[in-house]
Structures are given as structure tokens and as C-alpha cells.
């Protein structure tokens, strides 16, 4: 790994055909791409689109461009078949798992979506895939594991009802791999940092919108917040530091 590894992390783009959402995505991508010389990879943790339609994926595919190595998984608003058709040129129902090693850091994105449901779950086959990736890597390779749904409560009443469940199986796997540096996710449209299985868990802010905490207002949506980015930095000591940026669109 180089002296400092930097990954730009965005989530919850929710392309829906509107200029408003598209302009917010374009703003964060411009911010990232114009600083690409100092960034190693771009990571997107799901909800690329809002309703899962083919037209929305056309818009997403035409808009999401970066000179950076880019890895993507999907969320509860996504549709596996349409995502695979547009982004992988394979119209199948294959789970959107991705593995990429960049500058000595392993990026592992696991599909936590459940078709037709808002909550998340990583099934046994995907957990086996994750363990295979970790096991087959060069020993000691620092790894970032990402998915859409947080596997913990975040004290947002509705979002906590549609979080990732079955997380105790993931926690058991983590104990076998001390080289897992952190977990990354999205879903809650709110920048947040906590822990899971003794490792940092960093949640990217929403690009399309921000959701209120209970004390921020009676409405779910916080209309006044700009789109955001999480920059995760890993040094030679494999300690992660996350910086958040708001981008005025």
C-alpha cells in the first residue's frame, strides 16, 4: 500500500429523471473527479436509482463517469436485473458483489439488498463469497468491506426498521480476519460513524437527500442539506480516518 490510501465514498444517488437529483450527482462527481490525482478509488454503496426502472439506469450509466477505479453495489431501491443489464452488460439476477484491489487495499462490496423489500440481509452464499475473497488475498492485505444497509441501529426510527439483519453471521466472519480495516455503507442518507464487530462502521451522507434525526424536525426529509461525500483515508498503520464534505450544487 502507498503511504496514504484514499477512497471517495458516495451513496443513495436515487436517479429519478429529475434535473434536481441529476445535478446533485454531477456536483459530487465533479468534486471528486477534479481531485482524482489524490484519490485511489471511488466506491458507491447503492440506491443508484429511485424506482428501479430501465430508464433510470440509462440515466445513471450516462452520468456516472470517473477516471478512478470504481466499484458499485446496489440497495433496496435498485433492481438487480436492470442494474446488471446496464452496468455489467449481463441481464441476470446475479447479486451485485464486487471485488477490487487498488494500490494494496482490497475493496469488497457485498449485495445486502432483498428484492421487493426495504430491509437488508447478506445471504449465506454472499457471506461465503466475502470469506473467499478475504481468504484468497495476500496475507495482511488491508480490506474495506462495504454494503448498502447498516448492520446496526442508528437511532433513526424508520431506518432502524429497515436496517440489515442477520448481522451476527457477518460478525463471526470478522473475527477471523483482523485485516478488515472498516465497514462502509449508506442507506440512511446521513453521515454517521459507529462500530460493528469491533471495527469502525462509516456511513456516507446521501447524495440525493438527507434524512432528519428525531430532534431535527417532524418531517422525514431535510430539504436544506447539500449532497455529501465521505473520504476514507488509510495510513501505513491501517487506521481509517473519515472526512466528510458537503458539496454545493
Please say whether the structural domain 4-246 has been given the CATH code 3.30.70.1290.
Answer: no
Q: How far apart are CA 36 and CA 44, in angstroms?
A: 16
pLDDT of residue 1: 52
% helix, strand, coil for the chain, step of 5 = 25, 30, 45
Contact predicate 110/130, CB 8 Å? yes
pTM over 0.95: yes
What residues form DSSP beta bridges with 182? Answer: 144
Longest dimension (CA), the chain: 49
Confidence check: pLDDT of 219 > 90: no
pLDDT of residue 249: 66
- In the three-class reduction of DSSP (H, G, I as helix; E, B as strand; rest coil), residue 196 is classed as strand
What is the per-residue pLDDT across 101-156, written as a single tens digit (0 to 9) for each? Answer: 999 999 999 999 999 999 999 999 999 999 999 999 999 999 999 999 999 999 99
Backbone CA torsion sign across 220, 221, 222, 226:
positive
Run of H or E including 63: helix 54-63
Residue 62 contacts by C-beta under 8 Å, 6 or more apart in sequence?
A: none
Q: Which three cell numbers stand for residue 42?
A: 471511488
What is the per-residue pLDDT across 15-61, written as a single tens digit (0 to 9) for each? Answer: 999 999 999 999 999 999 999 999 999 999 999 999 999 999 999 99
Please report how many Cα atoms fall inside a 13 Å half-sphere around the Cα of residue 3, on the Cβ side: 1
Amino acid at each position: 500500500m502507498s503511504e496514504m490510501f484514499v477512497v471517495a465514498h458516495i451513496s443513495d444517488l436515487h436517479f429519478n429523471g429529475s434535473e434536481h437529483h441529476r445535478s446533485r450527482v454531477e456536483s459530487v462527481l465533479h468534486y471528486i473527479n477534479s481531485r482524482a490525482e489524490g484519490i485511489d478509488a471511488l466506491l458507491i454503496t447503492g440506491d443508484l436509482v429511485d424506482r428501479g426502472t430501465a430508464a433510470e439506469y440509462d440515466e445513471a450509466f450516462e452520468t456516472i463517469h470517473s477516471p478512478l477505479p470504481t466499484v458499485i453495489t446496489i440497495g433496496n431501491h435498485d433492481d438487480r436485473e436492470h442494474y446488471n443489464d446496464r452496468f455489467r452488460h449481463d441481464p441476470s439476477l446475479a447479486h451485485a458483489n464486487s471485488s477490487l484491489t487498488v494500490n494494496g487495499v482490497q475493496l469488497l462490496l457485498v449485495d445486502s439488498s432483498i428484492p421487493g423489500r426495504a430491509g437488508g440481509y447478506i445471504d449465506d452464499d454472499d457471506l461465503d463469497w466475502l470469506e473467499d475473497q478475504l481468504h484468497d488475498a495476500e496475507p495482511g492485505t488491508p480490506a474495506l468491506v462495504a454494503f448498502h444497509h447498516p448492520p446496526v441501529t442508528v437511532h433513526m426510527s424508520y431506518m432502524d426498521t429497515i436496517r440489515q439483519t442477520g448481522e451476527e453471521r457477518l460478525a463471526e466472519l470478522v473475527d477471523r480476519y483482523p485485516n478488515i480495516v472498516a465497514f462502509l455503507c449508506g442507506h440512511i442518507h446521513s453521515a454517521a460513524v459507529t462500530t460493528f464487530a469491533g471495527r469502525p462502521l462509516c456511513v456516507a451522507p446521501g447524495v440525493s437527500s438527507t434524512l432528519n434525526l428525531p430532534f431535527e424536525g417532524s418531517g422525514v426529509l431535510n430539504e436544506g442539506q447539500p449532497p455529501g461525500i465521505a473520504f476514507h483515508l488509510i495510513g501505513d498503520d491501517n487506521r481509517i480516518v473519515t472526512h466528510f464534505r458537503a458539496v454545493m450544487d
